[in-house]
């Protein structure tokens, strides 16, 4: 098995791929309640496996749930089309948590350096680099 988390299955269900909604699959209402899923903006991410009903190879993917707890089949799964019956295993529900307001994101180097400079405080050396030797070694080394 490629990833150990695929050994855990939170739920399994059969579904029909929507014909008119760009290959979306709706999680059944009973499964939504059992998993604690509610309708919400910026919904959770799921780790799931999908295959055609009746057998075949499992395809493992991550998907972001829509407001209505639906998810789309990725483009690389070409053998499943709208109207097909499929089997789904949901392995993980990953909370989609935004950054805390007021904190700079440390996703890039510039933000990290800015944050470190703010935390470091002021530099007591007002003369810049004019008297580095005197500052470091004390006395005149000119």
Domains and CATH numbers, the chain: 4-94 (2.40.30)
Q: Which residues of 107-131 are buried (b: 16+ CB within 10 A; e: fewer)?
A: eeeeeeeeeeeeeeeeeeeeeeeee
Q: Is the pLDDT of residue 118 over 80?
A: no
pLDDT digits (tens, 9 = 90+) for 23-56: 999 999 999 999 999 998 889 999 999 999 988 8
pLDDT at position 70: 95
Q: What is the pTM of this model?
A: 0.65
> What's residue 49's pLDDT?
94
* Residue-level pLDDT at 128: 60
Q: What is the mean pLDDT of residues 113-117?
A: 71
Pinpoint the alpha helices (H) of 4-131.
29-35, 109-120
């Amino acid at each position: 098995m490629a990833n150990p988390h695929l050994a855990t299955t939170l739920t399994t269900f059969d579904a029909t791929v929507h014909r008119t909604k760009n290959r979306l699959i709706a999680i059944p209402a009973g499964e939504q309640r059992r998993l604690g899923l509610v309708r919400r903006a910026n919904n959770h991410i799921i780790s799931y496996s999908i295959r055609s009903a009746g057998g075949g190879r499992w395809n493992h993917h991550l998907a972001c749930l829509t407001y209505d707890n639906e998810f789309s089949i990725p483009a690389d799964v070409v053998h499943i089309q709208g109207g097909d019956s499929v089997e789904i295993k949901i392995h993980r529900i990953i909370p989609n948590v935004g950054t805390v307001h007021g904190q700079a994101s440390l996703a890039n180097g510039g933000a990290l350096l800015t944050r470190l400079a703010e935390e470091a405080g002021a530099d007591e050396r007002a003369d810049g680099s004019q008297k580095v030797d005197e500052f470091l070694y004390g006395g005149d080394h000119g």
